[in-house]
Structures are given as C-alpha cells and as structure tokens.
Structure 1
Amino acid sequence: MANAKLNVLVAEVPEVIPLVQEAWRAHFALTFCTSLAEAETLLNKRFDVIVCGTHFAESKMFDLLRMAKSKPKSQAVPFLCIRVLDGELDGTAFQGISIATCALGAAGFVDLNRWRREYGFDQAREKLRQLVVSLAHQPT
C-alpha cells in the first residue's frame, strides 16, 4: 500500500484538465469534475486531497469548498484552492482570496502564476505537487 498513488479530486475548467493530467498523472490517481453537480456526487467517494481552481464551474470554487466542508465524507479532506488561468493576482486580491479560502476551511490558496514568476515553471510545478502530497499526509 506504500506505493499506492494518492487519490486527488480535481475540480477545474475543461481547458485546464489536460495540463493537470500531463503534470500529475504519474504521481496521483486523478478524478476530474467540471460542474458543481458532478462534484457533489463525487464528494461521496474517498479522496486524499481536493484541488479546486478559481474558475471551476463558472467561478464556483467557494460553493464547492462550502459543500465539501459540509459533507461528512469530505469535511476532513484537505481542500486546496488554486488559480491557474489568467495573469498573476495583485497583492490585495491575492490576500483577500487567501483569507476567504482559509476562513471557509481550505488548506490554502495558490496563485500558480505567482509561483511561476517566483520559482520558474518547473519548480512551481514541483512545489505544487509536493504541497498536494504534504496536505494528504497531514493529520486530520
């Protein structure tokens, strides 16, 4: 069981899914959803981490976060909010979204474009993957 891949639910817009598959398929068992209704059904399954993009289902990331934290099967699952599309957020917007996600029970918020600028593309990708692994191994 030590070699089993972590089971990750990825809630994202369709155009981001191929990028996630390419970056993570060798590391995680991935399940994707693109709608709130689809996500609600999937929250009845076991996941090690939930990763949700800010643009998910017409910007319903906060709705999914609240839903996940209200369901017995998913409320203890680490929920990571991420921004992948568009440009980097300014400091005020980044801080506001970070505070809101944590207040609603998320493990954190990542602006991947900020990380790409700070660390470079490959290191940002690796840092994100390692963050997902560390979230899965945190005690609940």
Structure 2
Amino acid sequence: MLATKRILVADVRDGVKTLESVIGTSAKIIGTNTLNEAISLLKNDVDLIVCGIHFDESRMFDLLRIAKADPSLRDIPFLCFRDMNSALTLSILEGMQIACKAMGAVEFVDLFNLKSQFGIQQADEQFQQILMNLLTSSAS
C-alpha cells in the first residue's frame, strides 16, 4: 500500500540520494534541486514534502512558506532536515527547528547529528520510521 506513496525531496543531490537510500522501495522519491521545479512538482499529488536546509542555496524556508500558503498544498506534511555537516551552531539549529515548526512543518530532523550520535544505520532507521509514520498518517 505504501509503495504508491510519493515523497517530494527538495535538496542537494546528496540529500536526495540519502532519502532514496533511507526510504528504499517503501515509497516513490521525486527529487529536485531547484525551487521552481519543486513548486511545479508539488502539483503532482505528493503525500509528503521533505526539504533539506541546503536546498537551492538555502531556500528551504521559501518552499515551506509557498507550500503552506497554498490551500491545495497546506495539508501535505512538510518535514525539514539537515543531512550534511555545516558551520551552524547549536543555537542556530535550534532556531531553525523552532522556525520550521512555527511556519507549519511537522518536524525538523537533524540527520547529521543523529548519525554522529547513533551511527549511520541506526540514524537512517530512525529517520525511515519518522518518514513512514508521516506517510501512514497522511492518508490520501
């Protein structure tokens, strides 16, 4: 049943590859690296939007704002995440998490930190569980 679920992944190429690896065959990944393409792909009945903080020169908040402002897209769960190391302090990351939720995202997942804490395999399993829970709860 979940094999037909569609996840729009808006991120740099490595972030899209990470999601493809994490989700496997449990859902269809539709990857994009640009804001304009992401906006057009949103019209294709996606069940979940996953956006990385490095998407299109850090335009994650732009995509989140656009998705939540559109009544036809507003109810699609939007998850923000970080997969790559970046020169962001803990307070900046906490601020991003607060901002994401305030703007309507269901969650901000710091996958890079999870990998540092638990190792790649366990972090990926935790991330996959979060994604699958969101797909299950977003019955189309």
State the secondary structure of the residue aligned to 2:56: helix
Cα deviation, residue 90, structure 1: 3.5
Aligned CA-pair RMSD: 1.9
Moved over 3 A (4+): 87-90
Q: Does 1:81 align with 2:73?
A: no
Q: Give distance in 2, aligned partners of 1:95 and 1:130.
A: 22
More displaced, 86-95 or 65-74?
86-95
Q: Report the AA paired with residue 25 of structure 2.
A: A
Question: What is the percentage of aligned positions where both structures have the same residue?
Answer: 36
Structure 1, gaps ≥5 residues long: none
More displaced, 55-64 or 106-115?
106-115
Contact 2:81 2:111 in 1 (8 A): yes
Q: Does 1:115 align with 2:114?
A: yes
TM-score by length of 2: 0.89
Structure 2, gaps ≥5 residues long: none
Q: Does 1:131 align with 2:130?
A: yes
Contact 1:68 1:74 in 2 (8 A): yes
Cα deviation, residue 26, structure 1: 1.9
TM-score by length of 1: 0.89
Q: Does 1:4 align with 2:19?
A: no
More displaced, 54-63 or 85-94?
85-94
Q: Give distance in 2, aligned partners of 1:87 and 1:121.
A: 17
Question: How many pairs were matched up?
Answer: 139
Q: Give distance in 2, aligned partners of 1:139 and 1:14.
A: 26
Cα deviation, residue 121, structure 1: 0.9
Contact 1:89 1:114 in 2 (8 A): no
